[in-house]
Amino acid sequence: MNKFDKIDELKEIERKFKVNVTLMGFIGEIIPKNIVQGYIFSIPTLSTRVRRMDDKAFLTIKGGADLLSRDEFEYEIPVAEANEMLELFCKKILIKKRYVLVQDELCWEIDVFEGKLEGLILAEIELPAVDTSFSLPDWIGEEVTEDPQYLNANLIERC
């Protein structure tokens, strides 16, 4: 079954945390993905993002006021078109390295931001349901899921 078989699976359910960098000794063992992204359109409840991740690119539409569970539609697009959209339509660009770590069958994505956001490190865990329980690694700090200033669509304004 793929994510388009059921409308419930078009929901992105994730929790977001600050990271205690001093406890992240393992990160040097993970090969990061290089991400460049920009927003074609963004208001608090709706955004359209272009993202280049290494040798792939995606167009993503996210919507909803609930920061824990939002609607998400993501489509792979040609890298050349993503580059053109980033140049033509995105005033600001966000750059980060993403490290992926699987723990207890759940996937942590650790984003290390670059440029004007250098020093910011956030970890997200995508969940199959809002009430999914999981254990927090010792390198996880304060939860910022409900704080809109930590949405990428808002972070990019600081770039």
* Residue indicated by tokens 């995508």: 126
| Count of Cβ atoms closer than 10 Å to residue 149 Cβ | 9
Q: Which of 39, 75, 99, 150 is catalytic?
A: 39
Based on the residue annotation, tell me whether 39 is a catalytic residue of this protein: yes
Q: Select from 22, 16, 15, 14 the least CA-distant residue to 139.
A: 22
Strands 11-19 and 94-103: unpaired
Question: How close are the terminal C-alpha atoms of the chain, in Å?
Answer: 39
Catalytic positions:
39
